[in-house]
């Protein structure tokens, strides 16, 4: 079976480079983020991906998941890493120090360690494997998705910041062969290259949630 990880569309705080991981009811999608969410839904639907849809409890993820399937289920294992004292700070103002070089040994002050993220993502992957579905869609965030990739391909978590996962992107993991099918696929870029207009793409989300 295949897990399709979707990173949420751009949020208001993404647009101004502010970290956000805790409050589940603020930080909604921007107009760009809504288009990215609609594009992810559009591409998944056209690919014929059918299966249960799960989402992080954070608002930006839930808004993205709703475009894919309004009957999605919230799964707290998909939440973003808790950035502790760095929460709601601008990225350029954060003294990352050794964290970016080795996030396993250097957790955010007062925040969640990478080992904890890996544990809950492995738990989610095993849970998805046991559902018996051909496909599962999981709407999440940069850290959980990058962690899932690292777990599958055997990349040390200390090197996780080498992975690129854009907002609205899709990453697919085949659990039967235990390998990464693709990562950081940009639905909006693909659909625009095929001649779809943004209005057509947005209509996909409106059609699903109306």
Per-chain mean pLDDT for the chain: 94
Report how far residue 9's alpha carbon sits from residue 97's, in angstroms, rounded to the nearest whole number. Answer: 28
pTM score of the predicted model: 0.95
Bridge partners of 26, per DSSP, are none
Taking residue 6's Cβ as centre, other Cβ atoms within 10 Å add up to 30
Q: Does residue 204 surpass a pLDDT of 90?
A: no
- For residue range 43-69, list pLDDT tens digits in order: 999 999 999 999 999 999 999 999 999
Give the pLDDT confidence score for residue 210 in this predicted structure: 38
Share of the chain above pLDDT 90, in %: 90
Listed in order, strand segments (DSSP E) in the chain are: 2-7, 53-55, 73-74, 135-140, 170-174, 179-185
Structural domains in the chain, CATH included, are 2-209 (3.40.50.1240)
Q: What is the chain's Cα-based Rg?
A: 16
- For residue range 136-186, list pLDDT tens digits in order: 999 999 999 999 999 999 999 999 999 999 999 999 999 999 999 999 999
């Amino acid at each position: 079976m295949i897990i399709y990880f979707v990173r949420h569309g751009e949020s208001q705080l993404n647009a101004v480079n502010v970290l956000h991981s805790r409050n589940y009811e603020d930080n909604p999608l921007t107009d760009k983020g809504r288009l990215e969410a609609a594009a992810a839904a559009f591409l998944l639907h056209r690919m014929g991906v059918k299966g249960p849809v799960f989402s992080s409890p954070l608002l930006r993820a839930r808004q993205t998941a709703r475009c894919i399937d309004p009957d999605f289920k919230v799964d707290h294992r998909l939440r973003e890493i808790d950035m502790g004292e760095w929460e709601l700070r601008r990225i350029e103002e954060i003294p990352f120090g050794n964290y970016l070089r080795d996030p396993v040994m250097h957790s955010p002050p007062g925040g969640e360690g990478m080992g904890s993220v890996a544990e809950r993502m492995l738990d989610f992957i095993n849970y998805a494997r046991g559902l018996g579905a051909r496909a599962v869609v999981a709407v999440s965030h940069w850290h959980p998705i990058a962690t899932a990739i690292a777990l599958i391909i055997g990349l040390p978590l200390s090197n996780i910041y080498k992975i690129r996962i854009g907002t609205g992107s899709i990453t697919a993991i085949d659990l039967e062969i235990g390998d990464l099918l693709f990562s950081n696929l940009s639905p909006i870029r693909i659909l625009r290259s095929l001649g779809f207009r943004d209005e057509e793409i947005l209509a996909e989300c409106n059609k699903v949630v109306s």
